[in-house]
Amino acid sequence: MISSLHTEAVEAALQKTKEFFLKKIAEMQKVCDEQQLQIDKLKEQVESNNDVNSNCKQDIRNLTISINNLEQYSRRSNIRINGLAVKGNGECKEAVCAFIRSNLKNKDGSVLEVNERDIDAAHPLPSSPTSTSTNSKSTVIVKFHERALRDRIIKNRRQLKGKPWSINEDLTAKNAKLLKELNFSKDFSSAWSWGGKIFAIRKTGDKPHKFNIYDDARTNLYQLLQNLICNDHGMLVDRDAINSLREVRSLATDALLLMQETHDEDQQDSHGAAPGLILTCASIHDLL
C-alpha cells in the first residue's frame, strides 16, 4: 500500500516536472522562432541595403566618368607645350606662334602657319614654388579658336622627338594620371591620348585598347578572362574578386585548366591539344 502511494507520488512529480520543462521549451521555441523571423527580416534588409549601396556606387562611378568627360570636352581645343621658355603672359602668344612655325611642318613640308589671332588664350602654368628664374622653361597651355588647327598641331608633334620640347593634349587630372600609369606600366609598350581619350597597346602586341579613369593596367586582362570564361562556361566573375596579382593568376590558371579539361573531354586535334585554347597557364603568368 505504501509502495503504491510512493510510486504514484513519484509519477505525479515526474509528470509535473515534464509539463514544466515542456512549457519552458515551448516558450523558448517561440522566442527562437520570433528571433529567426527578425534575423530573416534583417538579412533581407541587409541584402536590400547592399543592392542600394551597389547601385549608388555605380551611379557615383557613372557620374564621375560623365563629369570627367565633360571636363575633358571643355579642353578639346587646348594643348600643352612642355619646355617652352616664356617671360610672361604678354609674350606668350607670340612665343607659341614662333615656336610652332619654327618646329612643325605640314605633310607637304610647308611651315605649319599659326598666328596670334588663331589663339584664344595662352599662358604658362604656375612653376614650382622653389623656382626663382624669371625665364624658366615651363608648361604653356594654349587654347585655339579652331579645333582643326589644334588637331593638326597634335598630329605633327612627332616632329619634336629628340628635341627638348613636347606637345600634349590638355588632359584632366584623372586622365593625365591614367596615362602616366599606363606609360609606366611594364605590361604596355606604348600609351597615348587622342581627342581626350586614352589608348594603350600591350607588350603582347595586340590592338590598341581604350581606357577610362576606372581602368588600370590589368583591366583588359580581366576583360579577356571574363570573355573566355563566360563564352566557354557561362560564368561571370565579380571584378571585386580580382583585387590582387595572386588572385588574377589563380583565376587565370583555374579558368584555363577548366577549359583544357572541357576541350579534352569533348574533342582533340591530331596532336592531342585542345583546339581554340590560345593561352596557356605559363603565358598567363608571364603576362602578369
Q: What is the DSSP string of 259-288?
A: HHHHHHHH---TTSPPTT----HHHHHHH-
Do the strands 78-85 and 166-169 form a parallel or antiparallel pair, or are they unpaired? antiparallel
Query: pLDDT tens digit string along 16-47?
Result: 888 888 888 998 999 999 999 999 999 999 99
State the pTM of this model: 0.60
Whether 57 shows a pLDDT value over 50: the answer reads yes
Q: Encode pLDDT of 75-131 as tens digits.
A: 999 999 999 988 766 689 999 999 999 999 998 889 999 999 999 999 998 866 655
CATH topology of domain 76-170: Alpha-Beta Plaits (3.30.70)
**What is residue 215's predicted lDDT score, i.e. its pLDDT?**
76
Q: Which of 234, 228, 221 is nearest to 276 (CA)?
A: 228
Query: Vertex 183, ends 178 and 187: CA angle to 5°?
Result: 105
